[in-house]
Amino acid sequence: MTAASGNQHRPFRPGERVLLIDSKARRYMITLAEGGSFSTHAGTIPHTDLIGRDEGILLRSSHGARLRAVRPTLSDFILKMPRGAQVIYPKDIGPILVLADIFPGARLLEAGVGSGALSMALLRAVGAEGSVVGYELREDFAAKALKNVESFLGPDQPYRVEIRDVYEGIGPEHFPDGALDRIVLDLPEPWRVVKHATEALRPGGILLSYLPTIGQVARLREELDGSPFGLAETLEVLQRTWHVEGQSVRPDHRMVAHTGFLTAARLLDPDLPEVPPGPGVSPGNAA
Ligand code: SAH
């Protein structure tokens, strides 16, 4: 099979979101509509230039400016979507998915939900068989998150947002037949959730917390130390982009210096008895 015959052509349709990128890498997100048009200082492009065309097409504005048209990725969407609360950036979202080991079918609790940036990545990772229950204090943020999620992922996601304070507990209705697999926190005092997480997670389950300052991390680690959680780790992700143009290949002058620290720990049941060495394993060679 040739590469070309494997290509699934999916031309742009009305109602779809498109990202336009100009020669200076400025990005504009638009939603295609019959009769619509996109305008900047660099001129106008009627949506009819896009509708029915393939992703990746290069367009010319009325003033001759060149714009590339692609469908936005999750990361593009997060950086452009309407926000209430500060979002977690793509730089940290990828590592969160791995550190918290979010897998297809996982049952998750997320608090707080904010604008729903992290929710979208979590939903994609748990898939249709999984579920994400979000706790959020503010009704306006919850509404925004639901809207953003539906707008990017479509309706009927296994996603529910409840207006409640996770510091007051995790409703047992969220872990009726066993327990939650993962709890992901982006809020100021995650140590106040540790006790509730101990009751809600299954053994081996993972608690992950995103925190902007190291004092908060220290407080959380202290709380985890005095709890059934173990195997705790804390890290930060530094992302340095590079300028690559002809012979000029070097790190970019600017980078995002700091976003937050990631801390993850696993629930280990302290009441589990220690397993003695099995028959045939003598203390001498039990490596
Ligand atoms: N991770 C989100 C942003 C979350 S911002 C994103 O990527 O879009 C933090 C959110 O936590 C805020 O919306 C705040 O209202 C909420 N919050 C703070 N304390 C909370 C609590 N105790 N229970 C539930 N939500 C809480």
Domain boundaries, the chain: 3-72, 76-267
Nearest residue by C-alpha to atom 18 in ligand 1 = 187
What's residue 182's pLDDT? Answer: 98
Nearest residue by C-alpha to atom 4 in ligand 1 = 114
The Å distance, Cα 115 to ligand 1 centre, comes to 9
CB-defined site of ligand 1, < 6 Å: 85-88, 111-112, 114-118, 135-138, 141, 165-167, 186-187
The Å distance, Cα 111 to ligand 1 centre, comes to 6
Q: Which of 92, 124, 136 for a ligand 1 pocket mutation test, highest count of atoms within 8 Å of Cβ?
A: 136
- Pair 208, 263: CB distance under 8 Å: yes
What's residue 155's pLDDT? Answer: 94
The Å distance, Cα 203 to ligand 1 centre, comes to 26
Question: Which residues have C-beta within 8 Å of that of residue 281, sequence separation ≥ 6?
Answer: none
Nearest residue by C-alpha to atom 26 in ligand 1 = 112
CATH 3.10.330.20 for the 3-72 domain, yes or no: yes
- Tell which residue, 156, 112, 155, has the closest CA to residue 133: 112
- State the SS3 of 209-256: EEECCHHHHHHHHHHHHCCCEEEEEEEECCCCCEEEECCEEEECCCCC
- Pair 195, 161: CB distance under 8 Å: no
Per-residue tens of pLDDT for the chain, all 287 residues: 444 556 678 999 999 999 999 999 899 999 999 999 999 888 999 999 999 999 999 999 999 899 999 999 999 999 998 888 889 999 999 999 999 999 999 999 999 999 999 999 999 999 999 999 999 999 999 999 999 999 999 999 999 999 999 999 998 887 766 689 999 999 999 999 999 999 999 999 999 999 999 999 999 999 999 999 999 999 999 999 999 999 999 999 999 889 999 999 999 976 777 888 887 666 665 55
The Å distance, Cα 88 to ligand 1 centre, comes to 11
Q: Which of 80, 187, 194, 262 for a ligand 1 pocket mutation test, highest count of atoms within 8 Å of Cβ?
A: 187
CATH, domain range 76-267: 3.40.50.150
Residue 201 to residue 109: CA distance in whole angstroms: 10
